[in-house]
Amino acid sequence: MLLFTKDKNQLSELKEKPFKLEKEIQTLFESNLEIITGLKFIKSEFIIKNNRIDTLVFDPESKAFIIVEYKRERNFSVIDQGVSYLNLMLEYKADFIVEYNETQKQSIKEMK
């Protein structure tokens, strides 16, 4: 699908500029997370039981945690990784809740 940008009454095609590293995608997405998704950022690089989750977010509407995993290229093992993250979340739900609560405390401190 072609994408365009508008300058006055003139359209010009946007050119694809691939990311060199997954970390670039992660930084851009996390910096704009609430604008793009409406979700609440919890933690970057959340480590739990020797697993590293790229970005942990929370959906206040459904009251659910969401794990964001970045892939610069196609990856067929992403389904297996998703299932393993789901099992991790179900087994260590309390750890996710503690991290969420810590984030909320930090947000309150920053507001004061």
What pLDDT digit, counting tens, does each position of 34-46 carry? 999 999 999 999 9
Burial annotation 27-38 (CB, 10 A radius, 16+ → b, else e): eebbeebeeeee
pLDDT exceeds cutoff 70 at 32: yes
Contact 94, 75 (CB under 8 A): no
59 — pLDDT class (breaks 50, 70, 90):
very high
pLDDT tens for each residue of 67-111? 999 987 777 778 888 899 999 999 999 999 999 999 888 776 666
Average pLDDT on 16-41 reads 93
How many Cα neighbours within 13 Å face the side chain of 83?
4
**pLDDT confidence of residue 80:** 86
Separation CA 25–CA 3 (nearest Å): 19
Distance of CA 89 to the CA centre of its chain: 15
Average pLDDT on 15-24 reads 90
Helices and strands (H, E) in the chain, number of each type: 4, 5
Average pLDDT on 52-75 reads 91
Listed residue (52, 15, 57, 13) closest to 35, CA to CA: 57
What are the CB-based long-range contacts (under 8 Å, 24+) for 63-68? 65/89, 65/96, 65/100, 66/39, 68/29
| Of residues 26 and 1, more confidently modeled | 26
